[in-house]
Amino acid sequence: MTDFNTPDSEALLAAYSGKVRVRVGGVLLRDGALLLAAHRGLLPAEAPFWSPPGGGWQFGESIRAALVREFREETGLTVQVGRFLHLHEFSTNQLQALELFFEVIAEDASQPQLGHDPEHTPDQQLLTELAWLTPRQLQQIPPARVHPVLQHLLSPDDVFVPQVHFVK
């Protein structure tokens, strides 16, 4: 990802700047497609950044409980947390995070609904869209707009190959 220079991006991301964050994300696969959330404010010109639903781990909760909470907030779905999949270190001039990705299993076949980030007011939401995307569809999106753990998928099974990404 690139650094953010616009006043809008700086305002959107102020709550996360200058801190080390631990984030959890859930990989939900259904009919060969991944459920992904588009975020704004991370790329120039309001370009969407696609990543698995998830968010910050809060003091006093387990990582698995954080993922269940975040997934429900962002998608309206209740999930069970499965196996650990990926570790990703993220760093820019403003943001730094350690991201943990897990397989998640939806408790029913409900359709996801775009949720919200309670840390942000309604007019300052980072989430803009939810979509089911196949690996082939992800390959059609510019790589900078897709989370690094999803950039080289050739088949749905590839998402379940454990990965570790550290900043160089």
Supply 81's token pair.
């947390």
Of 110, 130, 113, residue with least CA distance to 52: 130
130-165 in b/e form (b: 16+ CB < 10 A) is bebbbbeebeebeeebbbbbbeebeeeeebeeeeee
- Tens digit of each residue's pLDDT (9 = 90 or more) over 100-113: 999 999 999 999 99
Determine, yes or no, domain membership for 42: yes
Task: Give me the sign of the Cα torsion angle 138, 144, 90, 39.
Answer: negative
Q: Is the pLDDT assigned to residue 43 strictly greater than 90?
A: no
Is 22 in contact with 50 (CB distance < 8 Å)?
Answer: no
Q: Is the pLDDT of residue 5 over 60?
A: no
Residue ranges of the alpha helices (H) in 20-159? 63-75, 135-139
Q: What is the pLDDT of residues 78-134, one digit of tens each?
A: 999 999 999 999 777 776 889 999 999 999 999 999 998 887 777 777 888 999 999
The confidence score (pLDDT) of residue 163 equals 80
Whether 1 is in a domain gets the answer no
pTM of the model: 0.84
CATH number at residue 75: 3.90.79.10
As for how many domains the chain has, the answer is 1
Full domain range(s) for residue 26: 7-165
Give residue-wise pLDDT tens across range 6-27.
Answer: 445 555 555 555 578 899 999 9
Q: In whole numbers, what is the pLDDT of the chain averaged over residues?
A: 86
| 2 located within any domain | no
- 99 domain residue, yes or no: yes
